[in-house]
Amino acid sequence: MTTTTSVNKDFEKQWEMITRGVVDVLPEDEFKELIRNAIAENCPLRVKQGFDPTAPDIHLGHTVGIRKLRQFQDLGHKIILIVGDYTGMVGDPSGRSATRPQLTYDEIMKNADTYQQQFFRILDKSLTEVHYNGEWFKKMSFHDVMGLAMKFTVARLLERDDFEKRIRGGIPISIHELFYPLMQAYDSVAIKANVEIGGTDQKFNLLTGRTIQQAYGIKPQCVLTMPLLVGLDGENKMSKSLGNYIAIDEPPREIFGKAMSIPDTLIYNYFELTTDVALEELEDIKQRLTQPDINPMDIKKDLAEHLVDMYHSSGSGKTAREEFERVFAKGQLPDEIPEVGVNNFENWGLDPDKLYLVGLMAKSGLVKSNSEARKLITAGAVYIDGVKITDPNCEFVVAVDEEKILKVGKRRFLKLCR
């Protein structure tokens, strides 16, 4: 994509690109007028999206909106990213059936660091402003907070489907959750947003932004909602908490392998929402998926290769595809397997003469915790030299001049030696 420094003068091109793949354009006539004025005055729109770093790393679900932001940039508009260091501590109640666990500020900021590193794998940094909403919230007095609260009613807040469902189900709603849409809305006041985008589950929050901007004497933003990307489980929105995600910073083999695990019914959806393939190619993919003599797995491999190339060096998708076919179709080992030996074991506080499998998996980084290791072992997802291990208390020894291959799941390998 080519970065522009002035507003594209072609209204039809702007409208087609901005509205491609979106669900809601609100209000449509007002949005068209906003674009026409931006063109006439050569004044870029301030287009906002917020991200709460409640978990590390950006995943493909996030990129649906970020790629739309990039399209705005290519049309000459200014992108304003809000990293929710304060809203993240509250937790967005959208789509939640219970109160989110509250993170500490240090946890939020650690996660935010990964977002800062990954935003610009898609966006042009020179056309992007990044703000932490703590910039304004930490300066607000209690009087200011009460002033914000006075600008919206409880009745409006309780119109939210998720709040209504929780009330009917007798599930508690904490007072701080009611402040979340007001806080997100105030972000739009602070940066004077012309446009805000978000997933369809954000519609209430985005429209609240219009109300709060008006209350502060600011022209209300227009709103775009984007479809939600279904995760690898084929049922739920892609989410770190559900583990059904593909992070853009994962190694090529992980991105490829995870993409191959999506249900066939989502292949077209992923091409449409997460890649930059042309409309003509999308139509061809749709047609091929209906043909009985076409194996969907071949199209899925094309998708996986494309995704790897988007977030890694050119050609890395082809390499990941070849390795996938060799490892999974032919049952062979990857070309490169991380190797650990006595020095590693001792540094990790492990006894090389009696290795405890759960501890080894956690210390080596194959899994995040001992509990995750136990679950995988019990589920039959762990092998040593091709032998399935199902005992979480398994201990073993690696003899001198011996190598053992530890396999966890379908894509994680470790070579153990003395």
- Give 109-149 pLDDT, tens digit per residue: 888 888 888 899 999 998 899 999 999 999 999 999 999 99
The answer to whether residues 79 and 216 belong to one domain is: yes
The answer to whether residues 118 and 179 belong to one domain is: yes
- Into how many domains does the chain fold? 3
- The answer to whether residue 57 sits within a structural domain is yes
The answer to whether residues 280 and 199 belong to one domain is: no
The answer to whether residues 120 and 257 belong to one domain is: no
Q: Are 114 and 58 in contact (CB under 8 A)?
A: yes
Domain final position from 309, 329, 349: 329
What tokens were used for 133?
């909403």
Tell me the CA distances in angstroms from 262 to 64, 171, 235, one per residue in order: 17, 33, 10
CATH number, residue 161:
3.40.50.620
- The answer to whether residue 334 sits within a structural domain is no
The answer to whether residues 159 and 45 belong to one domain is: yes
- The answer to whether residue 221 sits within a structural domain is yes
Q: Are 166 and 97 in contact (CB under 8 A)?
A: yes
| Between 283 and 388, the higher pLDDT residue | 283
The answer to whether residues 165 and 21 belong to one domain is: yes
- The answer to whether residue 241 sits within a structural domain is no
CATH number, residue 344:
3.10.290.10
The answer to whether residues 69 and 132 belong to one domain is: yes
Q: Are 72 and 66 in contact (CB under 8 A)?
A: no
The answer to whether residues 172 and 130 belong to one domain is: yes
Per-residue model confidence (pLDDT) at position 2: 41
CATH number, residue 318:
1.10.240.10
- The answer to whether residue 20 sits within a structural domain is yes
* Statement: residue 76 has pLDDT above 70: yes
The answer to whether residues 130 and 44 belong to one domain is: yes
Grouping H, G, I as helix, E, B as strand and the rest as coil, residue 384 is strand
pLDDT band at residue 102 using 50, 70 and 90 as cut-offs: low
pLDDT band at residue 5 using 50, 70 and 90 as cut-offs: low
For 348, the domain range is: 339-417
The answer to whether residues 35 and 84 belong to one domain is: yes
Domain final position from 226, 243, 277: 226
Distance CA(253)–CA(257), nearest Å, equals 6
* Statement: residue 154 has pLDDT above 60: yes
| Between 361 and 30, the higher pLDDT residue | 30
- The answer to whether residue 41 sits within a structural domain is yes
Tell me the CA distances in angstroms from 234 to 58, 81, 245, 255, 406, one per residue in order: 19, 29, 11, 16, 29
Average pLDDT for 153-163 = 84
List, in sequence order, every beta strand (DSSP E) within 125-266: 128-132, 195-199, 222-226
Per-residue model confidence (pLDDT) at position 97: 46
The answer to whether residues 66 and 158 belong to one domain is: yes
Per-residue model confidence (pLDDT) at position 329: 58
Domain final position from 274, 299, 329: 329
The answer to whether residues 86 and 125 belong to one domain is: yes
User: At how many degrees (to 10) do helices 267-274 and 296-311 cross?
Assistant: 20
Q: Are 156 and 96 in contact (CB under 8 A)?
A: no
Q: Can you spell out the DSSP letters for 181-218?
A: HHHHHHHHHHHT-SEEEEEGGGHHHHHHHHHHHHHTT-
- The answer to whether residue 5 sits within a structural domain is no
Q: Which of 270, 257, 245 is nearest to 308 (CA)?
A: 257
Q: Are 248 and 239 in contact (CB under 8 A)?
A: no
- The answer to whether residue 240 sits within a structural domain is no
